[in-house]
Amino acid sequence: MSDDAVRAEVNAVRALRQGVDRYAEQIRDALGHARREVAAADRIAQEAVERRRSEAQRREQEFRRADAALRQCQENCAGAQRQAASAAERLAEAKHHLERARKAAQLTASAQSDLLRVLQTIEASVGEHSSVASSALANLDAKLAALPKFGLSHAIHNAAVGTAVGVEMFGATMNLGRITGDTLQAANLNTPLRDHSITEMVEHREEQERDYVVEQDFESKRRMSSEEGRETQP
Amino acid sequence: MTLEGPIRQVETALASLANAARGAAGWSDTQRHVFDRQRMEPLAASGARLLGALQKAQEQCAKAETLLSGR
């Protein structure tokens, strides 16, 4: 793989990381906005219920007064009848409005409750996935960004040749073992990891390092045992 | 209308995420495919679920608005 191709990969990783971070931020904004909007809608509906309830109570009192006047009326009661009928009509209308407002408030309360439950789950899910993705990409970005300092092709070649050689070449400040998996992938070499994602290889890295330590340990024990064997031989 | 703003925000976020994934053209197809499946798909799926939930809530709020307006 050429230096240009590795640089393109560095740019791709950065672009994707920015995209993931931006996405998480936009979703957080949308969640906040949605919470405020649905709460406002519910508040408006609840206020409407209160307003309609007060109005219905007022209309109820009006009707009672008009009805009492009609009951007390002895003669020429047409006017009292009209007033009572009109008050009954206004009361029915107020009750109808109150019923509609109650239904509206039930809808907004249910919408708010359902939405908040989903928002909570989604917030946790987006937070977790974006954090994992962003962290994996940041990790990879840092490793890829370190390569050009030493010459990309050179670094990739050394990574492909082996961890021990790479550490010797770059010194103790740069742990090439940590980037071996990534650079093998960057170099598009035919390794068992070739068909794995970069993130899988970042995760595989730890395992690789453990194997390397175990191999070194095994090798040093083998040497010690061999030397001890030589010493005990006559 | 209620929740129209958040709905647009989520649609924009999903489009941006898709663009970012497409923008990662420097990666080989295999890498991108596996990364998409592992990391991007759950993110996009959460956004799509959020969009569905917002649309459902918007429908309920629209019905509530109609009831309140007396239409």
Q: Is the pLDDT of residue A208 over 50?
A: no
| Interface pTM, i.e. ipTM | 0.88
pLDDT at residue number A225: 58
> Whose structure tokens read 């009361």?
A91
Q: Is the pTM of this model over 0.80?
A: no
**Domain end residue (candidates: A129, A162, A184):** A129
Same domain, A120 and A67: yes
Whether residue B50 has pLDDT greater than 80 = yes
Residue A207 is assigned to a structural domain of this protein = yes
A37 touches chain B (CB under 8 A): yes
- A9, part of any domain: yes
Say if the Cβ atoms of B28 and A188 lie within 8 Å.
Answer: yes
- B9: which chain A residues are within 8 Å (Cβ-Cβ)? 26, 29-30, 33
d(CA B13, CA A227): 65
Mean per-residue pLDDT for A160-181? 30
- B41/chain A closest Cα distance in angstroms: 10
Average pLDDT score over residue span A101-124: 93
| Tally of domains within chain A | 2
Do A102 and A211 sit in the same domain of this protein? no
Kindly state whether residue A90 falls inside one of the protein's structural domains. Answer: yes
Across the range A206-212, mean pLDDT stands at 43
Q: What is the mean pLDDT of residues A42-70?
A: 96
| CA pair distance A21, A127, nearest whole angstrom | 10
- Same-domain pairing of A109 and A157: no
**Residue A136 resides in a domain:** no
Residues A37 and A73 in one domain: yes
Across A94-103, A129-138, B40-49, least confident range: A129-138
Q: Do B17 and A20 touch (CB under 8 A)?
A: yes
- Distance between CA A110 and CA B57 in Å, rounded? 9
- Is residue A140 included in any domain, yes or no? no
Looking at the complex, report in whole angstroms how far the Cα of residue B52 sits from the nearest Cα belonging to chain A: 10
Would you tell me the crossing angle of helices A78-146 and B41-69 to the nearest 10 degrees? 170
Chain A residues 106-145 with CB within 8 Å of chain B: 107-108, 110-112, 114-115, 118-119, 122, 125-126, 129-130, 132-133, 136
* CA B27 – CA B5 distance, rounded (Å): 34
Is there a single domain that holds both residue A8 and residue A116? yes
Question: Is there a single domain that holds both residue A155 and residue A124?
Answer: no
Range of the domain at A21: 3-129
Chain B residues closer than 8 Å to A125 by CB: 42, 46
Are A54 and A120 in the same domain? yes
Asked whether residue A65 is assigned to any structural domain, the reply reads yes
Contacts of B27 in chain A (CB under 8 A): 9, 12-13, 198
Same domain, A116 and A159: no
Are both A93 and A161 inside the same structural domain? no
Q: Both A207 and A165 in a single domain?
A: yes
Query: Residue B25 in 3-state DSSP?
Result: coil
More reliable by pLDDT, A134 or A42:
A42
Kind and range of the H or E element at A40? helix A3-72
**The pLDDT of residue A174 is above 60:** no
Which residue shows structure tokens 């249910």?
Answer: A110
- The tens digit of pLDDT for each residue in A91-106 reads 999 999 999 999 999 9
| Candidates A12, A27, A188; nearest CB to B25 | A12
Largest CA distance in chain A: 143
| Residue to test with chain B: of A16, A47, A134, A199, most B Cβ within 10 A | A16
Average pLDDT rounded to a whole number, residues A60-64: 97
Of the partner residues B5, B20, B56, the one whose CB lies closest to the CB of residue A15: B20
- Same domain? For A12 and A92 the reply is yes
Residues A77 and A116 in one domain: yes
